[in-house]
Amino acid sequence: QVQLVESGGGLVQCGGSLRLSCVASGSVFAIHTTGWYRQAPGKQRELVANITRVGSTNYAGSVEGRFTISRDNAKNTVYLQMNNLKPEDRAVYYCSANFFNLRRYWGQGTQVTVSS
């Protein structure tokens, strides 16, 4: 199994930036894809961005051009750089890891609040 711990959330003004981190521990060798999801109040959880083992990335249309997902393999860490934040980006952001055997693991989430 793998353990995921998110950090970096907080309160930021509209137009500001935040950098989220997801540190993985355990069987990190078994991870195929790591992604960031978010869930806004009253909304379904949605994919924000993900990155595969070979480095391919994918973004939701609502964040492309503003958010960047990256990783540091030496630190077992995946990042989500969020620029030009908007009030619509307010949500709890979750890190998720998918194993080659299709098992999925979730972090506890970190709150991102954008003030107008």
Which pLDDT score is estimated for 11? 98
Distance CA 85, CA 44 (A): 20
Confidence of residue 61 (pLDDT cuts 50, 70, 90): very high
- If you average pLDDT over every residue of the chain, what do you get? 97
Which pLDDT score is estimated for 81? 98
Distance CA 96, CA 22 (A): 9
Q: Give the pLDDT mean for 31-46.
A: 96
Q: Give the pLDDT mean for 100-115.
A: 96
Share of the chain above pLDDT 70, in %: 100
| Residue 63 neighbours by CB under 8 Å, 6+ apart | 48, 49, 82, 89
